[in-house]
Amino acid sequence: MGRGTMKGGVGVKLEGIGVPTLLVDEGKVRRNISAMAEKAERCGVRFRPHFKTHQSREIGQWFREVGVRAITVSSLTMARYFADDGWDDITVAFPVNLREVDLINDLASRIHLNLLAVHPETVRSLEAGLRAPVDLLVKVDSGYHRTGVDPDDTPTLERFAEELAACRRVRFRGILTHAGHSYKARSLDRILAVHRQSLDAMARAKDVLASRYPDLEVSVGDTPTCSVADDFPGVDEIRPGAFVFYDLMQFRIGACRLEEVAMVAVCPVVARHPDRGEVVIYGGAVHLSKDAVEGPDGRPVHGWVTELDEAGWKTPTGCCSVSAVSQEHGIVRACPEHLERMRVGDLVAVVPVHCCLTANLIGAYRTLDGRVISRL
């Protein structure tokens, strides 16, 4: 399945891989970035990609090359990492943690920092602790029900407006949502239905605030709807993240083709059990995460396994899948053809269920030509 540099074609440098390693196809990543940037321009919205997926300064540079100047992150620590690399317009798309006010002040003193709030009382506490100005976005719950203000909760939205009007350092920028319930979709029609529902929710919330803040912005962003939808009426910016690599979940949702998946986890085979049609890989929950999609038999699938080849990795067919994970172990249920070819010591490629989690767990990337790309 893969013991070193593959023969024929360009060749993939596999020397030195002994533990679970992220293999990235730079060409595919760049194509994914360009496609989303072109869509944003075509639709007349700002492209503020979420960098929590790749968390890499070098990959961030690939976004700069297509004109991206504003980004999204998921923590203040991540904001500092990218601010140190010259990014100066950063949204932290996570409810503001008032206990990190020192880091907030450090960042706000040197970049344009956009923070997120869910409760009006946060505004007053934030204002009291700031030494430099920040912009604030109110999180709206457009149907995901993780957190956010209900778009029809007029009293809370109006209280936000009142609190913000009294501030000097906290400036009201707009409203933001993440339609994470699109990840439960399993068809293009359902993704587009979530998209329409989300836009409608944001329009209702904006109507409440528009009389006092006519110029407030609307920010949306999840990879499924941003990948599938072709229009974003009433939206000022989009913030997709997972599209940079895509993954098995995005494929199952209908947000991408398998050929667009740009990252796999390369894992060593450490045991074979032909009697039960399984092999064991060094690649478990601490590498792939415990996220799963439902397989054809209703059982969980933690990734699709495929072979490495001279061009990177073969498009998986779904006949080999990670059926269970413990801390370090991954149990691969393999079809007879692939089972016969898998040997202890071989390397296999795993298309992860959720690229954001797998990238966060394993760490640095390795390109097809063997170059290492560091990350936060």
User: pLDDT tens across 31-87, in order?
Assistant: 999 999 999 999 999 999 999 999 999 999 999 999 999 999 999 999 999 999 999
* Average of per-residue pLDDT across 293-313: 94
**Does residue 193 lie in a domain region?**
yes
User: Are 187 and 270 within one domain?
Assistant: no
Both 50 and 101 in a single domain?
A: yes
Residues facing residue 22 across a β-bridge: 265, 365
Residue 351, amino acid: V
pLDDT at 6: 30
pLDDT at 2: 52
Instruction: Identify the domain containing residue 85 by its residue range.
Output: 27-242
Residue range 217-231: mean pLDDT, rounded = 97
Check pLDDT > 90 for residue 338: yes
In a domain, 11, yes or no: no
Helix (H, G, I), strand (E, B) or coil at 141: coil
d(CA 322, CA 296): 13
Is residue 252, in this structure, part of any structural domain at all? no
305, 365: one domain: yes
Residues 327 and 228 in one domain: no
CA distance 374 to 274: 38
Out of 242, 270, 296, a domain closes at 242
- Asked if residue 88 belongs to a domain, the reply is yes
What is the reported pTM?
Answer: 0.95
Whether 89 shows a pLDDT value over 90: the answer reads yes
Summarize the confidence of residues 369-373 as an average pLDDT: 96
Q: 208 and 322 in one domain?
A: no
The count of domains in the chain is 2
Residue 143 and residue 183 share a domain? yes
Torsion of CA 246, 249, 255, 256, to 10 degrees: 50
Band (1; pLDDT cuts 50, 70, 90): low
Average pLDDT over residues 212-221: 96
Residues 220 and 326 in one domain: no
Q: Are residues 189 and 315 in the same domain?
A: no
- Do residue 224 and residue 282 come from a single domain? no
Q: Tokens at residue 175, please?
A: 């409203």
Both 64 and 208 in a single domain?
yes
Q: What is the pLDDT of residue 8?
A: 30
